[in-house]
Amino acid sequence: MTEVKLHDVGEGMTEGEIAHYLVKIGDHVTLDQPVVEVSTDKMVAELPAPVSGVIKDILIPIGQTVTVGTTLLLIESGDEDAATCETVTESSRPVVNARTPLAVQTRRVLATPYTRKIARDHGIDIEQVPASDPSGRVSEEDVLQFVAKRQPVSPVRPEAVTAPEAVTPLATPTMLPFRGIRKQIAKKMTQSLFTIPHVTHFEEIDMTRLLVLRAELKANGTPISVNAFFVKALVVALKDFPVFNAKLDEANDQIILEQEYHIGIATETEDGLIVPVVRQADQLSLRQLHEQLAGLQTRAKTNELRAGDLKASTFTMSNVGPLGSTGATPIINYPETALIAFHKTKKRACVDENDQIVVRSMMNVSMSFDHRVADGATAVAFTNRFAGLIEQPTTLLMELI
């Protein structure tokens, strides 16, 4: 009998939550076939079967959090006919999941865990869902369209038509599962707020010259994202104000000033908020930053990030402007010292240095910082330094020489 244990799917992982079993008792599995989905605080990972054989027992129920090394299920290896296992009566099997089980998979469909969950909740075999994407990836919309096409129209029976009730019953509320990445996000946000005394500083930045420069670069065949400029300017500002590229070590009464610049990029996905990391950002050119940011965002949206993409950030930024945000009080990505959020850029009437009314592209910025480590004056100086680099992008380019 072979034990399938929860192993470390990312550096520093100590526990994980059982999100879903991809098999049921009695199923025959092959070597390396995914058998269970596990949620950590940063990702949803699939654990493969270490041997070929028959699933004999499932030990841990869905939704339970267990530590690394815990045995999740048992596989009986050998040449036993899977049909033999099917002779076991249903009453003798422990009920682990009341959902309709999927058929034994003969191929591995490309789909995110959230998309698979939608299929499971509707009792749909995701292998039967045609993919609209040329890559073969099944999306949430593909599943919902498949469900809509298969939904039968129930005829109205005469006996079902009755007089209205005197008292209309209350509608049953919809229940959403609080587990997986959403639950891990909640734990980390609670830890951050209950540990760090947050202070949020607000600023506005004139984006006009940077947007003109970006348009010129794009016209010359060198597209550079705004986020790439943000990361580069942040690195310059962090070098001038290293207290924000730091961690507080309360146990040893020390503020640890990091010597490397790993910038976390808060990214919204269908499974929740995750923070992929641009590592050694100070050593990358604007073009390299643009390419890395695009790659991380694509892998985040398709749930293909590696464990190394999500660890050891030293400072985090969040660009929520494209979503329409005009302001917020962001929560620090513990154990970092600060987080900066960029909000919507829109044209406003402003007064220039000659007292003339001009139209400028202005962006709101909010920066939350740990008041144990830094003070308000330092935060203002930091955002002023960052704003100066963005408002006068030629000075930013001088920093790259």
Residue 138 CB burial class (10 angstroms; 0-12, 13-18, ≥19) = buried
- Tell me, yes or no, if 371 is annotated catalytic: yes
Residue 399 in contact with residue 236, Cβ under 8 Å? yes
Rounded to an integer, what distance in angstroms lies between the CA atom of residue 362 and that of residue 65?
A: 45
Q: Which of 66, 69, 2 is nearest to 31 (CA)?
A: 2
Residue 17 in contact with residue 179, Cβ under 8 Å? yes
Q: What angle do CA 232, 234, 236 make, to 5 degrees?
A: 75
CB within 8 A of 393, min separation 6: which ones? Answer: 209, 210, 213, 229
Rounded to an integer, what distance in angstroms lies between the CA atom of residue 365 and that of residue 202?
A: 6
Rounded to an integer, what distance in angstroms lies between the CA atom of residue 264 and that of residue 227?
A: 12
End-to-end CA distance of the chain: 62
Q: Which of 352, 347, 350 is nearest to 362 (CA)?
A: 347
The separation between CA 87 and the C-alpha centre of its own chain, rounded to angstroms, equals 43
Cα distances (Å, whole numbers) of residue 132 to 116, 138, 139, 298: 16, 7, 8, 18
Residue 215 CB burial class (10 angstroms; 0-12, 13-18, ≥19) = exposed
CB within 8 A of 296, min separation 6: which ones? Answer: 265, 267, 276, 277, 278, 305, 309
Rounded to an integer, what distance in angstroms lies between the CA atom of residue 331 and that of residue 190?
A: 9
List the catalytic residue out of 201, 262, 290, 371: 371
Catalytic residues: 371
